[in-house]
Chain A
């Protein structure tokens, strides 16, 4: 019981996730800054930002539904932290593995997006409403290719559990190369999930003045920001677990491998953020449905055929 609480709340659960996400945010900002020929922040800047936001005045709009308004940041944070528990991080197995945890993780990761939508909707400000509508439009365009791309490797491994995927690909490491198209699709589509350039339409600072979160301030906004940072960690870990499953029985080596893998994915994500402009909502829908979905679909078909051959 005590050990379980320790795992869930401290390591590798909530507290570690928060700490690692702040570090991740720092690395992201530093890479972004260095690629743009800037100095970038110091290592404690994300923590300082978070603490400062916590201390700021919290304003809740008169017209907003107060309970939901205050509840949503916590729900999204909780969903993300829960998803983290089911992803194999340092060891080949996650904390509580079961058959089908891949699907559960994917659905847990949808909850924050729905929370962002509701947050914008219940703020009852025009900017937030437009941001909320965009969040949903975005959800409908990236979710399908992202799910298909993440399920394709699982199909080849013939299992719905993340631990099963790890076990299968440690036995056949070269099969990982077959999933490269799905990997690329997932990397592009997850930018939409994470609200990052080129898909940061729901926040779009220069158009919507930070969109869904425009009415949030103080500690609720701080929790939202932290949740978004944590989401970045969880999604990177998920992609690492599905496409780059490394096998190691020692905890220390496992941690090193995990950090390197997630940082590699973060680097790719930061690179995309640096070299792209924000695209329009209809361009995003076209990109996701016209290009990403067919590629992911082809990958699934190919994997199904390959499974018969291999």
Chain B
């Protein structure tokens, strides 16, 4: 069967949790080529940030991503704090680390479940999401919310961690540690899991560097990249950190990296709880931020998260740029898909732990550089759409809109 067929995975497809379109060309069951199409969820987020004050932006930035909300707000806070020239207290930095690692725990457990579901192993989904509930409870305990915790504020954190909350956290960690030992054992020794995940979605060390992969995807290809180590932000400089890497370079390796990182995060949270320093939660930051520009990086559960903030001396930022981790990982997806079976497409896509909405931004093409003739301005686009429908026998001018009756 040498006939090639093209199937669209998305924008509506049960294996995608958010809209994205993967156009897969198949030869039999083998993927010949794949085109990744994202951009269904543009939310105008960066522009909206420019119209709001820094404090109001916190609420927006926290909602860039539903899962790694804390790491985005941390990156934004760091940028603004650097612009304002303030340094947060050690206690605040520690609390930020605790939240960031809890977030990583819940994100990785979530991923494990999604991965299980994509390969038809729903039991893994149920087990890991059951355990994830404990982490979400802990996050709700500390932040008041299961998803957007609202812990960060410019100049520190908004909530303290009391000794009794520390105790509850510790008991949660003990539970997760036990469960994660089981998951590590499962990932390393379960035969159907190894048969389904091993050898698919290959990304070699060189390709990972060339395509700019970040986070667990890069680490599973043996690239020891971790912003927590490279650029020790928040309180990470005081933490004994170990970068988990793996040499498998496939989806199996990504699973192994993630389940091992859960262990590492548990260690970090324990260390933070043991050494939680005293101090103020928040230092005051002026409302007007001095002029300047800053690039701030954090390590999200999915990889490197970059925020760029430029201020013009007012209380509103001049420009905010958010680069979510998935945006860096999209580039390697098409490469990973080629040559694998159709059955592996969902799990390979899921293996980068994609966040569609966090990634989508409007892109302006500069046709002077690219030679692209397809750039339309607003008026041309309007005329194009009118002509498009007229050719199909639908004349917009012929429609008579009934006069509005004013109901008193």
User: Which positions in A face B, CB cutoff 8 Å?
Assistant: 35-38, 126-127, 129-130, 197-198, 200-201, 204-207, 209-210, 274-283
When the two chains form the complex, which single residue of B196, B342, B345 contacts A277, counting CB atoms closer than 8 Å?
B196
User: Can you name the residue of chain A whose Cβ is closest to the Cβ of B30?
Assistant: A282
Contacts of A279 in B (CB 8 A): 192, 195-196
Q: Does B29 contact A (CB under 8 A)?
A: yes
Report A-chain residues with C-beta under 8 Å of the C-beta of B122: 36, 197
Q: Looking at the complex, which one of A36, A206, A207, A209 makes contact with B126 (CB distance below 8 Å)?
A: A36
- Nearest B residue to A197, CB-CB: B120
Identify the interface centre among B5, B127, B343: most chain A CB within 10 Å of its CB: B343
Alpha-carbon gap, A22 to B139, bound state (A): 42
Candidates B29, B123, B345; contact of A274 at CB < 8 Å:
B123
Partner of A37, one of B15, B130, B192: B130
- C-alpha gap A210/B15 in the complex (Å): 11
Closest residue of chain A to B9, judged by CB?
A: A207
Q: Could you tell me if A278 and B127 are in contact, using CB atoms closer than 8 angstroms?
A: no
The answer to whether B343 touches A277 (Cβ under 8 A) is no
Could you tell me if B13 and A37 are in contact, using CB atoms closer than 8 angstroms? no
What 9 pairs across the A-B complex have the smallest Cβ distances? A278-B120, A277-B121, A206-B15, A36-B126, A277-B192, A126-B7, A277-B119, A280-B343, A206-B346
Q: A275's contact among B6, B123, B126, B344, by CB below 8 Å, is which?
A: B123
- A276 contacts across to B, CB distance below 8 A: 121, 192
Beyond A198-B192, A277-B121, A277-B193, 9 additional contacts (C-beta under 8 Å) are: A37-B127, A126-B5, A130-B5, A197-B122, A204-B120, A207-B342, A277-B119, A278-B119, A282-B341
Assess whether B343 is in contact with A207, with CB atoms less than 8 Å apart.
yes
10 sampled A-B residue pairs with Cβ under 8 A: A37-B127, A37-B130, A38-B126, A130-B26, A198-B120, A206-B346, A210-B14, A277-B120, A278-B343, A280-B343
A185 CB to nearest chain B CB (Å) = 18
By beta carbon, the residue of chain A nearest B117 is: A206
Which residues from chain A contact B345 at a C-beta distance below 8 Å? 207
**In the bound complex, CA of A37 to CA of B119 (Å):** 19
Q: Which residue of B lies closest to A206 (CB)?
A: B15
Give the docked Cα–Cα distance between A278 and B120 (Å).
5
CA distance A214 to B119 in the complex (A): 19
Contacts of A201 in B (CB 8 A): 343
Pick from A35, A127, A197, A206 the residue with the most CB of B within 10 Å. Answer: A206
Chain B, Cβ-Cβ closest to A196? B120
Q: Specify the chain A residue showing the minimal Cβ separation from B116.
A: A277
Q: Is there contact, CB below 8 Å, between B123 and A36?
A: yes
State in angstroms the CA–CA spacing of A201 and B342 once bound together.
11
**Complex Cα distance A127/B14, Å?**
12
Taking CB atoms, residues of chain A closer than 8 Å to B196 are: 277-280
